[in-house]
Amino acid sequence: MSTIKVQSIINSSQYYEYIDDGNPKQGGVKDVYFDPNRKYVVAFFRDPLDFNQKDRIKKIVTLYLENIKKGNASDYYLNDIFRWPYDAVENNGKTGVIVPIYDSKFFFKKGYCSNETIKGGEKVGKWFTSPSFRNKNYPLSLDKNELGDWLSYFQIAINICRGVKKLHQMGLAHSDLSYNNVLVDPVSKSAVIIDIDGLVVPGLFPPEVIGTADFIAPEVLTTKHLKISDSNRILPNQKTDLHALAVLIYMYLFRRHPLRGGKIWDLDSEKDELFAMGEKAIFVEHPTDHTNRVKVDHLKKWDINWGDPKKVPFTIVGPYLTDLFKRAFIDGLHNPILRPIANEWETALLKTVDLIQPCQNPSCDEKWYVFDNTANPKCPFCGTAHKGTLPVIDLYYKFKDEVWKPEGHRLMAYHNQYLFKWHVSRHVIRNENLTTEDKKPVGYFTFYQNKWVLVNQTLNGMKDLTDKKDIPINSMVELTDGKKILLSNEEGGRLLYITLTNK
């Protein structure tokens, strides 16, 4: 074992150290070594890089890194969303990148229920996109303390969307977005995008790979037989990123693949794969074309609940995400221009989180579900019906004097749920730019003395328009059917309209 010192190829006065014990951690194309203080890793490409590849690496650790630092929410992106390389080195003819070490939460604390063979291993996203690893009857099921609950995967998806959104805003494409290049921690609801040294810059840096199986866009597979120089050949780009993003979100929320159904296109497995994921790809939950429906009798015994879309259909995520999944896997599957962009996914995920209800069954593995807009809602995972009344809160905005219009945004109250500034005002957008002050709750809903109430914590000017009275700070208002509550009389302020369901 030896400590090796290497020099930056960006700044000749900068040096880095790493420990070489002869057994580096091996990735797909890189060998990874840790620095003695475990603050960063040095990841060397196994094969020598050509001039263009080196130039790409230099741009990533200088120009594009600086663009993030100068942009909005830079600390958030560099600490919470990306593990962005910040320098490049050379040793014995090989090029390496300096990357911040992963946060400890992205390593398994225990791993499997039955043994600890993956303890300390990276929480690569693929561990959390299959039902197998969370079924107690499966020999390699993960310890339940590693899994989080269904709500965890909404925030994980939001983080990934923000990362893709940022790359695309910078004119970049990831080119190989998959569950192998995302680390997740469902317990803290965190996700970080890794391995971003292959970024695509249209017209400058072409893609190095066509992607990872399961996430390669149909148009890339359909044209892969053509020469790179052929103008009809489709290579990874921002539109193919959007296909991979939709697949990732679907797999995190439903733990199955949107295109892997029961249809066999060719007895030759390689040709069948090309058809199923490429030219003939069909959404397994296509509402009118049943060609690729999942055959339940083919499912493994531990996959049955999640593998069968009839039991857990994609529509359980509510209207906002259902619409985007249709656009991604029906309209845009073979027409890339129609695919939802990352910002649309982020917005739909955030609005869907406002529809989430806690399951009243303490033994439910998923703990949460999306309100299904019925008079008698129930958890789609365990079948437990909601008991008691349920406040449905529609947000309205002032269109003009005395004219209020629906925002197209609904909030489902539950016991001790918070109200935030982004609910109060149209001028506060729930995204990565929120200040610490903006993230503080301004009120909360609670079930008190057999009544639903909203407690005002910090809002000046909150009014009960139905009973025509003020709701001062530190007081409460009962949520009754048809109640109208003005949250703010300032420009952009919203009004709540209450409907009590399940009465």
Least confident of 5-14, 21-30, 348-357, 399-408: 21-30
Model confidence pLDDT, tens digit, residues 412-421:
999 999 999 9
Report the predicted TM-score, pTM, of the whole model to 2 decimal places. 0.95
Model confidence pLDDT, tens digit, residues 323-377:
999 999 999 999 999 999 999 999 999 999 999 999 999 999 899 999 988 878 9
| Residue 145 confidence (pLDDT) above 90 | no
What is the residue-averaged pLDDT of the chain? 92
At residue 350, what are phi and psi to the nearest 5 degrees?
-65, -40
Q: What is the pLDDT of residue 23?
A: 84
Q: Are 436 and 420 in contact (CB under 8 A)?
A: no
> DSSP string covering 157-218, please?
HHHHHHHHHHHHHTT-B-S--STTSEEEETTTTEEEE---TT-BBTTTB--SS---TTTS-H
As a whole-number percent, the residues of the chain with pLDDT over 90 amount to 75
Model confidence pLDDT, tens digit, residues 169-211:
999 999 999 999 999 999 999 999 998 888 998 878 888 888 8
The residue with greater pLDDT, 498 or 196, is 498
| Residue 5 confidence (pLDDT) above 90 | yes
CATH numbers and ranges of domains, the chain: 2-101 (3.30.200.20), 106-354 (1.10.510.10), 388-501 (2.60.200.20)
Q: What is the pLDDT of residue 112?
A: 64
Q: What is the pLDDT of residue 79?
A: 94
Contacts of 72 (CB under 8 A, 6+ apart): 432, 433
Model confidence pLDDT, tens digit, residues 414-445:
999 999 999 999 999 999 999 999 999 999 99
| Residue 138 confidence (pLDDT) above 80 | no
Q: What is the pLDDT of residue 115?
A: 62
Q: Give the tokens for residue 63.
A: 């120009």
